[in-house]
Amino acid sequence: MFGKKRGDAIGVGDRAPDFQLPDQHGTPVRLTELLANGTVVLYFYPKDDSPGCTAEACSFRDAFEVFREAGAQVVGISSDDVERHRRFTDRHRLPYLLLSDGDKTVRKAYGVPATWGLIDGRVTYVIDPEGVVRHLFSSQFRASAHVEEALEVVRKIQEERR
């Protein structure tokens, strides 16, 4: 399922590991199917409804149309369950997918680190339509910077594809 040894972090230039996880409605979502529609901004975050994660999710929400116009889909992943994701998306009117990685298999496959060994890390990957990681940004405490960084790279990919 995954191309690297367990524990190796995925970096720029690597092929993004494919996966299938349920979204906030329980529908299975596969990365390769998302990539068939264009660039994917895949962001891992610690927990629904925490202050930093809510700020990040709402920042992606507020920029959602800009990402879409640039040919990118936004997808969030945490270990929260499907029902918690559904409530979170409803409460904050999130127009994009949140995927449930309950056993943290995908988080581990991407090598997303834990902060201080305790808190699930916050890392954003920009994956081009060919499945190659073009950018990653890791910052537990600068949640809104994830959106800015990702949007800049998405726009570059859009320019290249013209």
Catalytic residues: 53
What angle do helix axes 82-92 and 51-62 make, rounded to 10 degrees? 60
- What is d(CA 155, CA 161) in angstroms, rounded to the nearest whole number? 10
Please give the DSSP secondary-structure letter assigned to residue 148.
Answer: H
DSSP codes joined into one string, 71-126: TEEEEEEES--HHHHHHHHHHHT--SEEEE-TT-HHHHHHTPPEETTTEEP-EEEE
Token couple for 77: 């992943």
- What is d(CA 85, CA 92) in angstroms, rounded to the nearest whole number? 11
